[in-house]
Amino acid sequence: MIKLFVFLCVLSIPTSVSTDSHSLWVLITYIKGNTPFLEYSGTLMLDDMTVGYFDSKTMTYFTRGNTTNEDDLYNLGDNTVIGEHLYEYVVDRSSHRNNTDGLGVYQVLGLCELLDKDKPGHFIFKIAFNGSTSEEMRYFDGKFTYKGPLKTTEHDNNPLLQTHMWYHEVFSYPNCLNTLRSYLKKRGAQLKRKVKPRVRLIQKTNSDSGGFRVSCLATGFYPRHINLTLFRDGQPVSDHEITGGDLLPNGDGTYQMRKSLEISADKHKYSCSATHLSLDNKLDIELEFPGGTLVQVISSVLLALAFVLLTVVAIIIWRRRHHSASYTCDYSSASSTEDSVDKT
């Protein structure tokens, strides 16, 4: 069963294009217990791009970002059968684990890579339970390394382990690399795309501390590598003052990153700089009203509103007085006309 699993999991994964190295990998997760997550899921990756996934309800593999069947490089046939075999394998391995708290998370990772100039890189196979790696096998430059229950000091020549190593070296590793090369040709253009980041410098009041938070947000960019720097008076802010900075995926395959800084009511000038492959030059964004000047801005706005209100009141009073004076004038004219009629 393990041979079938490795073949389906690792060798049928699509491929990708990066600058120096490229990887093809799959992550299978099985969760046993009451959680809001799917019981069984599988994701196929080409570098950092999701190219396929297993539907846990139908146990079927679907390609992502591709409307043809080009991802079925090995003509594996009925994907429903593939999903069922993977599911059975993962569930079977998970059943041998003791989960005292009623929740068990069993994961399998398979990966192969090509280094610069098409040089074969690592082949990795990992098994983890509840976040801890329980078994790991690596093959690189003709050498195998293994950590797990099949190998101890007195069982270095374990026949089952030797069989696994031979299988990976002769079949799994070369076929995975061939699959990776094939997908580099078919999906390479998607990995080579460049999408410019949208960068904003935001300032908000921090209700917890009573101060302010300045955040530099870059989103919607690809590839994933970006340099985001916060400046105070033209000088980079120290890393220990910065919070955030994690690279997060967006739903459309792009990425986002946010770096934040807690400040008090000061008069420093804050700016943000972004460097990315899609940009010809560094992108600089300045905060127009940093630090304590936000209070001044609010005060100015309130004063402006008060001035407008007073102006409106003055106009209303002036119109009322003007209307009253006009009425008095008309009344006087009417009285003079009546006197003239009486005299006649």
Domain ranges of the chain: 2-192, 198-294
Pairwise CA distance, residues 12 & 30, whole Å: 20
Rg (CA), the chain: 35
Output the pLDDT for position 251.
82
Output the pLDDT for position 156.
59
Residue 14 · residue 25 · CB < 8 Å: no
Question: Nearest Cα to 1, choosing from 75, 76, 88, 74?
Answer: 88
Output the pLDDT for position 292.
42
Output the pLDDT for position 205.
79
Output the pLDDT for position 40.
83
Pairwise CA distance, residues 99 & 129, whole Å: 9
pLDDT digits (tens, 9 = 90+) for 16-68: 434 578 999 888 888 877 888 888 888 888 898 888 887 777 777 778 776 56
Output the pLDDT for position 258.
96
Residue 171 · residue 123 · CB < 8 Å: no
Residue 104 · residue 8 · CB < 8 Å: no
Output the pLDDT for position 12.
36
- SS3 (DSSP) at 49: strand
- What separation in angstroms does the CA of 300 have from each of 287, 306, 307, 311? 18, 10, 10, 16
Question: Nearest Cα to 186, choosing from 69, 77, 82?
Answer: 69
Assigned architecture for domain 2-192: 2-Layer Sandwich (3.30)
CATH topology of domain 198-294: Immunoglobulin-like (2.60.40)
pLDDT digits (tens, 9 = 90+) for 112-158: 999 988 899 999 988 888 878 888 889 888 888 888 877 554 545 67
Pairwise CA distance, residues 277 & 290, whole Å: 29
DSSP H or E run through 28: strand 22-32
What is the mean pLDDT for each group of 10 consecutive residues in the chain (344 residues)?
36 43 87 81 86 76 69 46 59 62 81 90 89 86 83 62 82 85 86 92 78 91 94 92 93 92 82 94 74 51 75 79 59 49 47
- The secondary structure of 165-221 as a DSSP string is HHHIIIIIHHHHHHHHHHHHHHHHHHHH--BPPEEEEEEEE-TTTSSEEEEEEEEEE
Output the pLDDT for position 123.
93
Output the pLDDT for position 100.
52
DSSP state of 78: -
